[in-house]
Amino acid sequence: MRSRIKKFPLALTLLVSLHPAAAQLPLPEQDTNRPAGLTQNPAKPSSWSDAQGRNYTRSGVGTWTSYDDAKACVYPLPDPLVLKNGQPVKDAAIWWNLRRPEILEDFRREIYGRVPETTPPVTWEVTATNTIAAGGTAIRKDIVGHIDNSRYPAANPSIQITLFTPANATGPVPVMVIVVAGPGGYGAPRPGATSFEPDPRPGSPAYQLFALGWGYATMEVGPVQNDYSGGLTSGIIGLMSAGQPRKPDHWGALSAWAWGLSRAMDYFETDKSVDAKQMGVEGHSRYGKAALLAAALDPRWAIVFPSCSGEGGAKPSRRNFGETIDNVANSHWFAPNFHKYAGHWNDLPVDSDELIALVAPRPVFLNGGTGDQWADPHGAFLAAVAAGPVYRLLGKQDLGSTNMPAPDTALTSGEIAFRYHAGGHSDAPDWPAFLQFAQRYLKVPGSPAGVH
């Protein structure tokens, strides 16, 4: 996932104001700190690459991308089983009553922003039904959640879901919800953008789910909250703030998308074709960040697959490898409080190992690609290892290894799973391994009991 900072001059201006030294930065092509051997992209001058094709950028505070794993672990990851007062977390009660709330509060205040305690009611409407969708294999419903915007009519967010359940289902089924862009879900809304996701293509993960007797759904983030900095006065964030600028701990787009996913879960709990106790959430790249956050915030998600989620997801923020805090600190994805950690990584009170630990004891499947070093798959693996003690404390199994697996080898013996596929920035190679892992936890009626 490429940095959003380079695309928004106003955001970069704010970063410079937070870090005055950035105002004196030389041009990138004249910067003596630029790694040797880089080639500038003529179509995008802010982007550089090395002989291996890896992406390099210079952040707003002057730091350049690094891919030196030997020097990546600049600071140790925080221990999820040590309270803020320095006392160890010795049992599950201390975790649930003291330590987990501490961690969650830090993520809400300093990184993702607080979801408001009270949000407008959502009224659900099934706008279309197709009983012969996906080549006759599924029943499709197009569903809209109408969000009451009477407090600020200038903002008009909604929640758009497309749900497919197997045509031959005899009862409620497990469903995987995929986080997708939708109109305005990747940059500013574009005229003529379609309102709902099209039917899935044959061979896609949806068909793999149908073969298991499971359902497939998408939730579009764009109608909930636009994915660009100018959208913060609209969407659900603008609705709650009445179009006013955000305060330091106010929510960013990732929290807004996670909120939308929780409201989608509210709907699924009312749909008789869905087993709402067996719901999983998956997202890729920036939507992988949203999926992981959603699972951390809402325990109703039974399993999560945050694919190639990078900085702000499973990648440790303290690691100087690929995408870093310096690239995304000023992004609309996060709370304004997150800005101050650009160039000050070790001041963060929490890190991604603790975000993964917030999902415990529920299963989580992490991944990465050999050709996607920007997202730091090794860092995600290290975070998964560091989250393991929390899973063990809660009576579950950890990753089962402290050694990075070989490409296309899946580590799936415990409730934390990891696969490092040969290839680039994609979730497609890892869906079969994820579904094999997930079948231990999600079951259709009449199938053998899972291993929990």
Residues with catalytic function = 285, 425
Is 91 buried (19+), middle (13-18) or exposed (0-12) by CB count in 10 A? exposed
- Of the candidates 67, 71, 59, 65, the residue with the CA atom closest to the CA atom of residue 16: 59
Strand pairing category for 274-284 and 303-307:
parallel
Tokens read off for 329: 């600190």
Specify the amino acid at residue 103.
Answer: I
Strand pairing category for 274-284 and 410-411:
unpaired
Element (H, E) at 274: strand 274-284
DSSP string spanning 144-189? Answer: EEEE--TT-TT---EEEEEEEEETT--S-EEEEEEEE--TTSSBS-
- Cα–Cα distances (Å) from 302 to 25, 124, 276, 307, in that order, read 47, 23, 9, 16
Distance CA 188, CA 58 (A): 24
Torsion on CA atoms 368, 373, 377, 383, rounded to nearest 10: -150
